[in-house]
Structure 1
Amino acid sequence: MSYRAPHIIVEGAVQYPLGELKGKQVLYDFEKMLTYLEAKGKLLFGKKFKIYREDREIIYKLCLYFIRDKERCSQYGIDIDKGVLLSGPVGCGKTSLMKLLKHMVPHKRPYQVIPCRNIVFSFNHIGYKAIEDYGNSQFFCFDDLGVEPTGRHFGKDCNVIGEILLSRYELFIDHGRKTHATTNLNARELEECYGNRVRSRMRELFNLIGFDRNTKDKRI
């Protein structure tokens, strides 16, 4: 991939054009983006990976967000300056999509996908430094928000992810730094996990993009 040609991605010996370059503007083609995403998905997750027809609409919205198509995003109520909270039932493919889509814009600074339970385990081991580490200025996607255990360090309980989300909110307000996340939970359940204060901050931090609750488990 050349930074002069952000619409062309090279994987091995194969070039994947995602659209056409018109002057300094890339005119993206959704079908070409899907072709690349399926090919890259097979490289990342194995030959059984596929893009499901019923997921095309949600992938379309995510593609618009990642290529920063402000006009079309606004039609879907998506703010390109916020992060993404991708919600949906277990096994619908949320984590895979968030790991995959960042490869479509290799000229943008990538984010790390980190399971929330791993962050809590880190807190249990090293304490509040873990909150500092993940509340800092790096780019993260927090995976499986809301189902992680309560943190406990030297006998003190801590809602680790809730504290990190408050730090990420300050980072967003002060520096425009985005945070992404995935979750199986709905808004009420998230509020039960983190409280009203964190939930209200999450509304400002994230665009909520959700799979249909009846989406099948693709891991079966």
Structure 2
Amino acid sequence: MEYYKLVEDRAKMLIPNFQKTDIYDILTEYFSKSEKFTQRGYNLNKGLLVVGDVGTGKTEAFNVFRELLRSSNRFFQVASCRQIIRDYTNEGAKVLNKYGRDSKHTVYFDDLGLEEVNVKMYGNNANVMSEIMLDRYESFKREGIKTFATSNLGAKEFGEIYGERMRDRMREMFNFIEVKGESFRK
């Protein structure tokens, strides 16, 4: 119960007009490795894909937990999917390797699915985030490396953007957590 209070206190420090929602309890259970998380039907060995409408606090929740975990050496890297695409157009395959094959730690991808999908590099089209996710899936299978992400997409839309093959693999590597509610942005 103390960890729940710590999360709420940190959230109040970081977020003006903080309103506690279910996502904070679910993420608290996950990051504290609570049995309650598995009782909800989730798996502590998988990563997290938090989906829902815009403005429902998904990104803010991850920011709170990133700050909390930083002090316990359980940090995770944060990456904007749109920024990854911009970096890819400047740096090429080095970016794929940085977040995919060569990454040996947890990465949180913000706004998965909102990035440009077909990016041209030297005349070739690439679905950059799909390539990164495929590499991260292989790292998850081989080494248990987790991935976190937030998105405004639903399952069907993931299939349309990344293909059914990747959507199926995402089911294996992620706990899909849906956040419902109206936008907090006013």
The TM-score with structure 2 as length reference comes to 0.91
The Cα offsets for residues 57-106 of structure 1, whole Å up to 9 and x where unpaired, read as 2211111001111x211111121111110111111111111111122333
Alignment check: 8 A CA contact 2:139 2:145 kept: yes
Which residue of 2 is the match for residue 120 of structure 1? 85
2:53 to 70, 89, 92: 89
Q: CA RMSD in A?
A: 1.5
Q: Which runs of 4+ in 1 moved over 6 A?
A: none
Secondary structure, counterpart of 1:62 in structure 2 = helix
Unmatched segments (≥5 aa) in structure 1: 1-17, 20-27, 43-47
Unmatched segments (≥5 aa) in structure 2: none
Alignment check: 8 A CA contact 1:73 1:80 kept: yes
1:109 aligns with 2:84: no
Task: Find the aligned partners of 1:178 and 1:160 in 2 and give their Cα distance.
Answer: 19
Which residue of 1 is the match for residue 7 of structure 2? 33
1:203 to 149, 160, 171: 171
Task: Find the aligned partners of 1:98 and 1:36 in 2 and give their Cα distance.
Answer: 12
Matched residues, percent identical?
36
Alignment check: 8 A CA contact 2:7 2:65 kept: no
Q: Which moved more, 1:121-130 or 1:158-167?
A: 121-130
Q: How many residues align?
A: 182
Q: Which moved more, 1:58-67 or 1:96-105?
A: 96-105
Which residue of 1 is the match for residue 36 of structure 2? 72
Which residue of 1 is the match for residue 135 of structure 2? 167
- Give the CA deviation at 1:154: 1.2
Task: Find the aligned partners of 1:110 and 1:32 in 2 and give their Cα distance.
Answer: 17
- Give the CA deviation at 1:32: 4.5
1:132 aligns with 2:126: no
Larger radius of gyration: 1
Q: Which structure is higher in helix share? A: 2
Between the two structures, name the one with larger relative contact order (CA 8 Å, sep ≥ 6).
Answer: 2
The Cα offsets for residues 172-195 of structure 1, whole Å up to 9 and x where unpaired, read as 111111100000000000110000
The TM-score with structure 1 as length reference comes to 0.78
Alignment check: 8 A CA contact 1:37 1:104 kept: no
Secondary structure, counterpart of 1:113 in structure 2 = strand
